[in-house]
Chain A
């Protein structure tokens, strides 16, 4: 119930799916949460607040590709809840386009959201964490940051980048007690992967040793662990949440 008591978290892409599940779980564990999204996140915030019976969650507009939005989101954490301890770089877009089929425009969009957004988030969150004497950053990569597939070229590139960006930041900020880890979900049933046809998803799932798609909550529980002091000696690490997909 109190695994994140007195901690303040900022979650990008928090309006729905995995980000909203993380916010719900964080709030139920005693955290104060700012959810940032390009979508209206007010409804998600209201729903969680009414469930926990206090104003635990605030919503802000956050386009992760814009430095000014990140600055404002971190300011909101300070203003609303007194500081920032946890950043979840959760926002991302999925795309299945292959190498030659990808246009420069599409490439730039995916790289800016999935990769530059993660760097900007860390850049603006770290000074606020330093004020608190430390913190925990969780970057949502993917199994696509560990293994390849025949398509999703730009997506693979960005998720591989997030994996190494995580390790670089873990090394740089270890002395300041800021831990940085990456999470690598497999096939998780959220709106992000609605573009994959149903029969294709069923075929994927047949390769998953646990024989099911993951839920947003499956991932959120791993993120909670990394955000909490239970993971106090864990940094620069990779957490696969894929039902065993990459183990085969």
Chain B
């Protein structure tokens, strides 16, 4: 119940899907949560729902386009202004894309790379100074099993998730001295609005290949993120947590 008590978290892409699930679990574990998203109304609704359930004002929605430095600056300021600081950043926002190397246009490439990769870097860049003021923190970057293995398509998505995996390790190395831990999470197929954008015939073989032969609920990723965010993971940094029903184990 109190695994994140007294901590303040910023979750990108927090309006729905995996980010909203993380927001709910974080609040249930005693954290204050700022949900950043480009979907303003949905972020506000999710925050209200969490507040109603908790019976206190523990969640807040803010506008956050992860590709914009100014939005990140404002989101971090909201954490400090509304809840007194920032301890946890979950770089959760992302978009899926199934196009292959030749089928991808430069516009699509830039869009996927900016949201999934540059957004993660910007989030860390603006969150770290706030965490330093608190004497440490935990950053959880949501990569993917597609940051570990390849598939026939999703070229820009694979590149962005591979980048997040290494950005995580570089940041872990740079900020260990500041007591800021940085880890990556690699979900397989999770049932969220993001995976709804991928054709079912492309998802089903991936689901079938995993030893558990099912997709995950967002909460199953959310609990892993809670662990990494909490002090239970106090010696865990630069690590990769695979949450894929065994997909990459076979």
Contact = CB atoms under 8 A, between A and B. Distances in A.
A160 B168 CA distance: 10
Contacts of B195: none
B203 interface: no
B169 A147 contact: yes
A165 to B, nearest CB: 4
Contacts of A162: 159, 162
A116 interface: yes
Q: Nearest 10 A-B pairs (CB), nearest first?
A: A148-B169, A160-B166, A164-B162, A167-B150, A168-B158, A161-B163, A156-B170, A161-B159, A157-B163, A150-B174
A168 B170 contact: no
Interface string B129-169: 10000000000000000111111111110111111111111
A140 interface: no
A48 B170 CA distance: 39
Given A122-B101, A161-B162, 11 more contacts: A116-B110, A120-B106, A127-B102, A146-B166, A148-B168, A148-B238, A154-B121, A156-B167, A167-B150, A168-B154, A168-B158
Interface residues of A, number: 46
20 contacts: A98-B174, A99-B128, A100-B125, A120-B106, A145-B162, A148-B173, A149-B173, A151-B170, A152-B170, A157-B117, A160-B147, A160-B166, A163-B166, A164-B148, A164-B158, A164-B161, A164-B162, A171-B150, A172-B150, A172-B151
B172 interface: yes
Contact of B151 (A120, A152, A168): A168
A171 B238 CA distance: 27
A172 B166 contact: no
Interface of B is mostly: helix
B215 to A, nearest CB: 21
A157 B166 contact: yes
Contacts of B159: 115, 119, 161-162, 164-165, 168
Contacts of B171: 99, 148, 153
Contacts, number: 146
Contact of B170 (A119, A149, A167): A149
A100 B150 contact: no
B96 interface: no
Interface string B101-114: 11010100110010
Contacts of B158: 164-165, 167-168
Interface in A162-182: 162-173
B170 A153 contact: yes
Contacts of B118: 107, 111
A126 interface: yes
A115 B153 contact: no
A148 B170 CA distance: 4
A151 B154 CA distance: 29
Contacts of A136: none
Contacts of A107: 118, 121
Interface in B4-19: none
B16 to A, nearest CB: 26
B167 A153 contact: yes
A126 B102 contact: yes
Interface string A88-132: 000000000011101010010001000110011011001100000
Given A115-B113, A160-B163, A173-B101, A104 B69 contact: yes
A222 interface: no
B162 A123 contact: no
A94 to B, nearest CB: 14
A116 B102 contact: no
B236 to A, nearest CB: 14
B109 A119 contact: yes
Contact of B117 (A152, A161, A171, A172): A161
B191 to A, nearest CB: 23
A42 B151 CA distance: 39
B124 interface: yes
B30 interface: no
